[in-house]
Structure 1
């Protein structure tokens, strides 16, 4: 099969770019400049997204391959109307994101990052570390019980923690109790973990009232999207001791997060890296290469735009 050109709609990670370059010619999208003739395939990321205006400007595109599980920034309806398929990478990052959620929970509750700074600053000896919060037999509430939420729940249950969850619909086949209201889940939990998708349905669902319900010994963890939290309310809760601590992998603005986070000792900050492991990067790259090959060969692949028109 002839070597084909991929149109890059946004910057992509170096490892993905290198893998694509082995099989395809890569062209950067430059608004105002038409792509080379015959380009059918474009590449984006879940964070950069895809708009109807982009598709209108690129009428020859028939497939957009997106790195990531999130779909909220991809205009699936516009793609469906224009006959454009959308490939994405669900499943492959589930287990690593769940691991990261548990890691952030421990880091925030047990002051692991703070302890590292304490030792490096030479404070051990002249001073004593402040007590941390035990997680043994505590209760974790998970908002969002999709693939990632269930993977987090399995890990938390394996640690001996009680598990409950919140979501728009009960799932009777799951072994953990469903709590219809997020505030009630927070009030019943020692740790609240966000694993919901982004988008208008979940925008700022964690507000001051939810954080107040979580309480002054509560731990908040977010591996979902920064948009699911009222960020000023979260910063205020951390500053005022409304909650004990937080572990965050996502923010309202990335990478230019609110600088007030940097001054707080009771928050662990990660650079949206929950899924960045050697294994997951390999799986994502393989999935994207496989979906593009399936499109070129007329084989079936998971199309997020199917039925979205």
Structure 2
């Protein structure tokens, strides 16, 4: 994978391949409005219909598509790949790509890219914000004040200290490492579980997610999504975390057994949770909506003006580079299908 500095809009306009024929770029799923506008104006991109007209659109235009731009929330499955016989690249806006059938793309020689690095800081910041809010119960205290309960009912219950906590991180990649670095400033004792032990890591390695959970006060989920990590944080892990433990998830909803999480939060089996992601977004389990021991965010981990602009620029760079040279700037899977 090649890491590149995200380009500015002037650079993109200068390198945008004006020779690309209309219809070769397809937008799949909703995207940032300015990104969608650029795709339409500079690459004459069409948007894949979601209704009954989808089949007819693919039958008429599918063979002309050589590149798809999508997001981690939508992705491209094997069925859509089959309907796009000349597809050579799937360009993701975002770091996640678990909704795309990456193995099938690899088999077909279709390149896959994402936007790593540029969102690391904001997602790590979100994890720390969620952790502090969840343990200190600031959002619940804010609601308490706004409801006039401070004057009528007195002080809120005491909350949990953040500094010095034992924190376990599942997934010590770019984002997990950035979270750990921030936690060092809070003098936290940090441990982690990863698919492989990270060489020279200063943090304690736990051989399993269950063992990690059993040894910490807070468990932060920063692992990649996809079939390989589905319910990695299952009931056994959550029960090991225990009634005094807190879960923070800034990864993907699929990584956590959401049903078990809801049950344990409701029964006292967990102390609390801070969640930026859910299994069936934008749907959130009803039981969580009124729970004061849970902080809920609408998947805003990378949601800052600066980061989304950098993600957009890197998405466009990947698309431009592929259409010009057949290569992707930040490839998850290198493309091998010839550019038409």
Change (3 A) 1:260 1:20: same
Partner residue in 2 for 1:139 = 166
Partner residue in 2 for 1:259 = 286
* Contact 2:168 2:191 (8 Å CA) reproduced: yes
Taking the aligned partners of 1:237 and 1:184, their CA distance within structure 2 comes to 18
Partner residue in 2 for 1:32 = 56
Question: SS state of the match for residue 70, structure 2?
Answer: strand
* Contact 2:63 2:84 (8 Å CA) reproduced: no
Change (3 A) 1:237 1:88: same
Partner residue in 2 for 1:218 = 245
> Aligned to 1:172, which of 189, 199, 224?
199
Structure 1, 76-85 or 140-149: larger mean CA deviation: 76-85
Taking the aligned partners of 2:242 and 2:78, their CA distance within structure 1 comes to 43
State the aligned residue count: 309
Taking the aligned partners of 1:84 and 1:216, their CA distance within structure 2 comes to 46
Residue 284 in 1 paired to residue 311 in 2?
yes
- What runs of 5+ residues in structure 2 fail to find an aligned partner? 1-17, 49-53
| TM-score of the superposed pair, with normalisation by structure 2 | 0.85
Change (3 A) 1:158 1:31: farther
Alignment of 1:262-273 (within 5 A): 262-273=289-300
Residue 32 of structure 1: CA displacement?
Answer: 2.4
Alignment of 1:77-88 (within 5 A): 77-88=103-114
Taking the aligned partners of 2:298 and 2:91, their CA distance within structure 1 comes to 23
Residue 57 in 1 paired to residue 83 in 2?
yes
Residue 37 of structure 1: CA displacement?
Answer: 7.2
Residue 172 of structure 1: CA displacement?
Answer: 2.8
Question: SS state of the match for residue 32, structure 1?
Answer: helix
Taking the aligned partners of 2:32 and 2:272, their CA distance within structure 1 comes to 31
Partner residue in 1 for 2:31 = 12
Give a deviation string over 1:136-195, Cα, whole Å, max 9, x none. 211110011111110110011122111000112212311101011212211211110001
Larger helix fraction of residues: 2
Residue 62 of structure 1: CA displacement?
Answer: 2.1
Partner residue in 2 for 1:113 = 139
* Contact 1:7 1:35 (8 Å CA) reproduced: no
Change (3 A) 1:4 1:159: farther
Change (3 A) 1:213 1:294: same
* Contact 1:140 1:163 (8 Å CA) reproduced: yes
Give a deviation string over 1:15-74, Cα, whole Å, max 9, x none. 321333442223122332222874422111112121121111111322221112223222
Residue 2 in 1 paired to residue 2 in 2?
no
Residue 215 of structure 1: CA displacement?
Answer: 2.3
Partner residue in 1 for 2:229 = 202
Structure 1, 227-236 or 10-19: larger mean CA deviation: 10-19
Residue 304 in 1 paired to residue 328 in 2?
no
* Contact 1:205 1:228 (8 Å CA) reproduced: yes
Taking the aligned partners of 1:46 and 1:25, their CA distance within structure 2 comes to 22
| TM-score of the superposed pair, with normalisation by structure 1 | 0.93
- What runs of 5+ residues in structure 1 fail to find an aligned partner? none
Residue 4 of structure 1: CA displacement?
Answer: 4.6
Question: SS state of the match for residue 124, structure 1?
Answer: helix
Question: SS state of the match for residue 29, structure 2?
Answer: coil
Partner residue in 1 for 2:190 = 163
Residue 267 of structure 1: CA displacement?
Answer: 0.4
* Contact 1:3 1:23 (8 Å CA) reproduced: no
Question: SS state of the match for residue 2, structure 1?
Answer: coil
Taking the aligned partners of 2:264 and 2:111, their CA distance within structure 1 comes to 43
* Contact 1:141 1:185 (8 Å CA) reproduced: yes
